[in-house]
Amino acid sequence: MAGLPRRIIKETQCLLAEPVPSIKAQPYESNTHYFHVVIAGPRDSPFEGRTFKLELFLPEEYPMAAPKVSVPQPCRSTQFFYRSRPC
């Protein structure tokens, strides 16, 4: 994680040490600005048992610049578009 802003390093270490239930976020080995994210559908919802895969990018200016999120595979939701940002 050398060369990353301290904020990204600190938040990544916290996320790996104390994972959020039903959310997995793992930095890419080749570029730690990018994360593989997998979110499990909430219990007792129409999404229970489903998983949602996202790609998260933290820009150099983070947190002053918002993270970018993309969906790496086609999704049936009308709120996401393949390889684009959520609406």
> What is d(CA 54, CA 51) in angstroms, rounded to the nearest whole number?
10
Q: Tell me, what's the pLDDT at 77?
A: 56
Q: Report pTM.
A: 0.72
What is the span of the domain harbouring residue 24? 6-72
| CATH number for position 42 | 3.10.110.10
The total domain count for the chain is: 1
CA angle, 24 then 26 then 30, to 5°: 160
> What is d(CA 82, CA 66) in angstroms, rounded to the nearest whole number?
20
In a domain, 57, yes or no: yes
pLDDT 10s per residue in the chain (87 long)? 667 788 888 888 888 899 888 999 888 888 888 999 999 988 999 888 988 888 999 888 888 889 998 887 665 554 554 444 544
Q: Tell me, what's the pLDDT at 87?
A: 44
Identify the sign of the CA torsion 80, 63, 58, 32: negative
